[in-house]
């Protein structure tokens, strides 16, 4: 089991100045999409992707890992995804029954919806929907909730994850090929050998040794406030330096299929020499 002295992405976002930089967002997004691509190719759905469940391995270079697989489930011919699990601000509409998909089941496309919410949070320090009311309004008018907060290219990328109908959303593979993600600067080179590329702020966050308390989803401002990002008040640094020890999976996990074995119920994973394994 690995120990993560840098804490989680939630803390990293809270301690940023108005949200992460675009190079940082791209760096984190690429790693998470690589992890989801592998999970989905093996028919596993995380079902609770959010900043609190993304652990920061190192700040410089910026390396992250997906964590907390307690709600993860394998979806196959004999197992369907029906249970309402996850965190409200990151739940896809089909999980909540807001849209009619002609079935009570859902697919790994729910992870892609959560990914869109997560990217929005990285960019704005806000979650796109305060609850089902905001989500229902978005579904009805199909208007991006934060068009005042992010540039057009990033908005278009996020909207690709947040199509109301699951089959119309970007897959992890499609998202990795998206023009926005592959334009400009980012610091992820596809391996663990990262460097601080142009635009990477070194002073955004760092270990301080402070004792940390648990953060809740309420620490994020939500879209119903209609506040500009610049109006977000300074945040306490009390959460900086929180370490976490948790089973996790890295963004790049080659040759893991042979390490997977069938198991009912939630799965628990850990990294072993950069390979994902069931324990």
Tokens, residue 171: 């897959």
Phi and psi at residue 11, to the nearest 5° = -65, -40
- Which positions ≥6 away from 258 have C-beta within 8 Å? none
| Cα 35 to the center of its chain, rounded Å | 11
> In sequence order, which residues have a C-beta less than 8 Å from that of residue 148 and are 6 or more positions away?
228
Residue-wise burial string across 231-267, b where 16 or more C-beta atoms lie within 10 A, e elsewhere: ebeebeeebbbbebebbbbbbbbeebeeebeeeeeeb
Distance of CA 136 to the CA centre of its chain: 22
* Rounded-to-integer distance, Cα 171 and Cα 39, Å: 12
Cβ atoms < 10 Å from Cβ of 44 = 23
Q: Which of 48, 68, 89, 108 does the annotation list as catalytic? A: 48
- 77 preceded by cis ω (within 30°)? no
List the one residue out of 19, 53, 21, 23 whose CA is nearest residue 36.
53
Respond yes or no: is residue 227 known to be catalytic: no
For residues 224 and 23, is the Cβ–Cβ distance under 8 A? no
DSSP secondary structure code for residue 224 in this structure: G
Q: Residues 55, 67: contact at Cβ < 8 Å? A: yes
Residues annotated catalytic, as ranges: 48
């Amino acid at each position: 089991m690995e120990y993560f002295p840098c804490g989680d992405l939630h803390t990293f976002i809270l301690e940023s100045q108005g949200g992460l930089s675009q190079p940082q967002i791209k760096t984190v997004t690429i790693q998470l999409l690589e992890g989801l691509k592998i999970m989905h190719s093996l028919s596993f759905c995380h079902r609770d992707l959010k900043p609190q469940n993304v652990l920061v391995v190192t700040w410089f270079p910026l390396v992250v890992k997906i964590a907390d697989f307690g709600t993860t489930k394998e979806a196959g011919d004999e197992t369907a995804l029906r249970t309402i699990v996850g965190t409200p601000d990151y739940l896809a509409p089909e999980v909540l029954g807001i849209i009619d998909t002609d079935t009570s089941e859902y697919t790994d496309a729910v992870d892609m919806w959560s990914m869109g919410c997560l990217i929005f949070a990285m960019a704005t320090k806000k979650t796109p929907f305060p609850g089902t009311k905001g989500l229902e309004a978005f579904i009805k008018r199909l208007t991006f909730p934060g068009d005042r907060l992010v540039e057009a290219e990033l908005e278009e990328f996020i909207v690709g994850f947040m199509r109301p109908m699951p089959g119309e959303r970007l897959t992890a593979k499609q998202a990795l090929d998206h023009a926005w993600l592959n334009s400009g600067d980012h610091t992820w080179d596809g391996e663990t050998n990262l460097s601080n590329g142009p635009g990477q702020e070194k002073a955004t966050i760092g270990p301080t040794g402070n004792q940390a308390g648990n953060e809740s989803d309420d620490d994020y401002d939500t879209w119903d406030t209609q506040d500009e990002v610049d109006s977000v008040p300074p945040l306490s640094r009390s959460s900086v330096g929180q370490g976490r020890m948790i089973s996790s999976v890295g963004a790049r996990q080659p040759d893991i299929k042979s390490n997977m074995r069938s198991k009912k119920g939630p799965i628990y994973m850990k990294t072993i020499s950069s390979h994902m394994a069931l324990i």
